[in-house]
Structure 1
Amino acid sequence: MPLTIELCASEEQTAFNLHRWAEIQADPELRRLPHRIETDRHGRILMSPPPAPAHGNRQSRTAALLIDLLAEGQVVTECPLSTSDGVKAIDVAWLAPGREAEVESSICLMRAPEVCVEIISPSNTGAEIDEKVALYFEAGAREVWLCGLDGKLTFHIGSAGNCRASWTLCPQFPTAVPRADPTRSPGCRASCQQSQ
């Protein structure tokens, strides 16, 4: 029988997360590691190996599409977010206009970006992804998008259990993240067409 522990977001947890994240950021040994670093709610470091090239490919394509399709606002990759279960790194995030100062002045966001995108890796479990989706909504996300191993997206709107085939903040976003082709990237496509 699974055990569920309710984690309450609190000012104390946020202050603890920010203090611990500042320590981690300042540690020269940790900065040299190629691993992705997150923390749990107790400040313990959780490391995972760098993702496979396909993961980075989908991550960069998602970011490029968001930049092209949502000209206003800010796109951030590997975005640290303070949650009730420690600091989590969002693969791709979009923040609404007016939140630029948060990105430039903080080491870790205290409120979730409006759109949080997780690129699924083969090592991710369903429970792990469900937990992240719930944590992002608890921290204030409006939408959480999951990019599967095949590039297909599922969209959670407003709550972890509300899964849809569509989205509201970027309705023109495709339902699958295409593989990267540098000659077909949105920015290159526009400049290549102008040069012809």
Structure 2
Amino acid sequence: MSLAIQLPAREDQMEFNLRIWEQMLADPELAKVEGRIETDRHGRIIMTPPPGPAHGGRQADIAFLLRTMLGGRIITECPISTSDGVKAADVGWFSDARYAQAFDRRFFLEAPEICVEVISPGNTRREMEETMELYFDAGAVEVWFCDEDGTMRFLEPEGLLEKSLLCPDFPPTIEA
């Protein structure tokens, strides 16, 4: 006899993510924890320590540049419901229209148009590729990576871009 285990459909995963995230938000002990908290598709908590100064500085610079160049809504540590739980993009850029439809008081039901990850020393290539796929699956139009040396990489679902299509004047490098 064979036992087939089916993963929940995206809608079911979204409801599951909502339920787990609400429980986490209501937990006073978790509210005291510093660092990033995410979940996996099973509702398990994934915690990472707070980033270093260079990481936070690049995150702030990217957020400022996006706000200045595109307007819209900028969210740092942007919680997004994905097929693998709730993930937090370092920076998310939403058009006003998408923000209005994706916003939920707990997390975003759809990814921002631009999801940015600032690479940390502990990140692996495979981890970042998986994260990128989750963001695209959740509706991101572009995913950007800021490498440890500040070099920006811009991607769409079809692959690497020479520059962002949504923000073509964004600089190719972010200083530390």
Normalised TM-score (structure 2): 0.92
Is 1:23 the equivalent of 2:20? no
**Secondary structure of 1:155's match?**
strand
Does the aligned pair in 2 maintain the 1:38–1:87 contact within 8 Å?
yes
Equivalence for 1:149? 148
Q: How many residues align?
A: 171
Matches within 5 A, 1:3-82: 10-71=10-71, 73-82=72-81
**Secondary structure of 1:50's match?**
coil
Matches within 5 A, 1:95-134: 95-101=94-100, 105-134=104-133
Q: Percent identity?
A: 50
Normalised TM-score (structure 1): 0.83
Per-residue deviation at 1:177? 1.2
Per-residue deviation at 1:149? 0.1
Per-residue deviation at 1:165? 2.2
Letter in 2 for 1:107: R
Letter in 1 for 2:139: G
**Secondary structure of 1:99's match?**
helix
Going from structure 1 to structure 2, the CA distance change for 1:110 and 1:148 (only over 3 Å counts) comes to same
Q: CA RMSD in A?
A: 1.7
Going from structure 1 to structure 2, the CA distance change for 1:11 and 1:27 (only over 3 Å counts) comes to same
Going from structure 1 to structure 2, the CA distance change for 1:17 and 1:101 (only over 3 Å counts) comes to same
Does the aligned pair in 2 maintain the 1:63–1:77 contact within 8 Å?
yes
**Secondary structure of 1:82's match?**
strand
Equivalence for 1:186? none
Equivalence for 1:182? none
**Secondary structure of 2:140's match?**
coil
Q: Distance in 2 between matches of 1:42 and 1:97?
A: 32
Q: Distance in 2 between matches of 1:40 and 1:170?
A: 31
Per-residue deviation at 1:108? 0.6
**Secondary structure of 1:121's match?**
coil
Q: Distance in 1 between matches of 2:48 and 2:55?
A: 13
Going from structure 1 to structure 2, the CA distance change for 1:96 and 1:60 (only over 3 Å counts) comes to same
Going from structure 1 to structure 2, the CA distance change for 1:20 and 1:100 (only over 3 Å counts) comes to same
Per-residue deviation at 1:99? 3.2
Does the aligned pair in 1 maintain the 2:120–2:148 contact within 8 Å?
yes
**Secondary structure of 1:98's match?**
helix
Going from structure 1 to structure 2, the CA distance change for 1:8 and 1:174 (only over 3 Å counts) comes to farther
Q: Distance in 2 between matches of 1:102 and 1:49?
A: 31
Q: Distance in 1 between matches of 2:62 and 2:9?
A: 29
Equivalence for 2:3? none
**Secondary structure of 2:31's match?**
helix
Q: Distance in 2 between matches of 1:87 and 1:105?
A: 13
Per-residue deviation at 1:62? 0.3
Q: Distance in 2 between matches of 1:130 and 1:103?
A: 24
Equivalence for 2:159? 162
Per-residue deviation at 1:8? 6.9
Equivalence for 1:178? 175
Gapped regions of structure 1 (runs ≥ 5)? 1-5, 180-196
